[in-house]
Structure 1
């Protein structure tokens, strides 16, 4: 089994600027969600995540096989949890690219 990497370990070993968990948590506080339940007897629920209510990050979804088991509250909670995970992953990716691009631009300006 692989030993988990902790934020503390990353902080201790970092020698250059990096995206931190605190950066991502702060951005996640700015994420808003919209809920869409598909009409017409379907059991699909979609939750869309937006940064600052405008920049689309991710969609989470849930569905059940049998309409008799459908519960809107449970569907929304599952879909939102899915959307939150995807939004957080997207923010790590975008912030990582932003840091990379910034460093590349700084390097290009030096040379």
Structure 2
């Protein structure tokens, strides 16, 4: 649990809101690939062996499929080929995709709250 979530709970803020657990629950699947994989159809391991410093091999994408079928993407770009690490790239790309889920769930919650008031 991150520091903001801990602070929200510590302050006893209990009104309806989107939580980190809500975001994770909304995710049905996740997929990762580099731009080089997308262009060539090769796996990252094969692509790196062939062209380690190719610029497209340094751009990692994460596609999150939400339970309702909607998709969001995140990306991670590495400036130096020597620093490229597939696992770190995937983590950063996933976090960037997750950050796009928050406003979608916030909008859905606001719609639900407004309908309850009507």
Mark yes or no: TM-score above 0.5: yes
Aligned match of 2:78: 64
Aligned match of 1:81: 95
Query: Retained in 1: the 8 A contact 2:78–2:84?
Result: yes
Structure 1 71/25 Cα, relative in aligned 2: closer, same or farther at 3 Å? same
Cα distance in 2 for partners of 1:20, 1:88 equals 7
Aligned match of 1:10: 13
Which one of 31, 34, 53 corresponds to residue 34 of structure 1?
31
Unmatched segments (≥5 aa) in structure 2: 40-53
Cα distance in 1 for partners of 2:18, 2:75 equals 28
Aligned match of 2:116: 103
Cα distance in 2 for partners of 1:62, 1:47 equals 9
Structure 1's consecutive aligned runs of 4 or more residues displaced over 4 angstroms after TM superposition are none
Deviation at 1:38, TM superposition (A): 0.8
Q: TM-score, normalised by structure 2?
A: 0.61
Higher helix share: 2
Deviation at 1:10, TM superposition (A): 2.1
Q: Secondary structure at the match of 1:19?
A: coil
Unmatched segments (≥5 aa) in structure 1: none
What is the count of residue pairs matched by the alignment?
93
